[in-house]
Amino acid sequence: MNIAELRRELKTKESKLAGLRRERSKLQTRLERLDSRIASLGGEKSSSAGSEKGNGRRRATNNKPLLDYAQAALKSGKNLRIPEVMEGVQELGYSSYSKDFYSIVAATLRGPQFERVSRGVYRLAKKKLRSSKK
């Protein structure tokens, strides 16, 4: 392909893109009008209509971050494997819809609050005493 052909191809794609954006804008306006009509009749607004952020996934709500639950699960002073920490965290009330909760817990345990004892085994990190320089 020479430069002229590339420019023509680029112009064609830009034109198609502009058309698709106009079409999306019109559909978005129509959806907003439908939502307002639904709301005026006492119905609920569609969660996906007009929302670019919504992807249909559920997100668990917890009172505290996973880090706090993991620290509480390891407070006994025992060395725990990742599945045991997962179980302890869930028993303490942490909920997750993650398909790979194991990896999330493992990543959390790599923080400075935890100490790796051996492969897959963790405990709370011992607090280091600051040396006083006098």
104 has a pLDDT exceeding 60? yes
Look at residue 106 in the predicted model and tell me its pLDDT: 93
57 has a pLDDT exceeding 80? no
93 has a pLDDT exceeding 50? yes
Look at residue 34 in the predicted model and tell me its pLDDT: 85
φ/ψ of 80, rounded to 5, equals: -120, 145
Q: Confidence band (pLDDT; 50, 70, 90) for 103? A: very high
pTM value?
0.53
Look at residue 58 in the predicted model and tell me its pLDDT: 76
Q: Which strands make up the sheet holding 114-118, listed edge to edge?
A: 80-81, 121-124, 114-118
The length of the chain, given as a count of residues: 134
Contact between 77 and 114 (Cβ < 8 Å): no
Rounded to an integer, the average pLDDT of 27-51 is 75
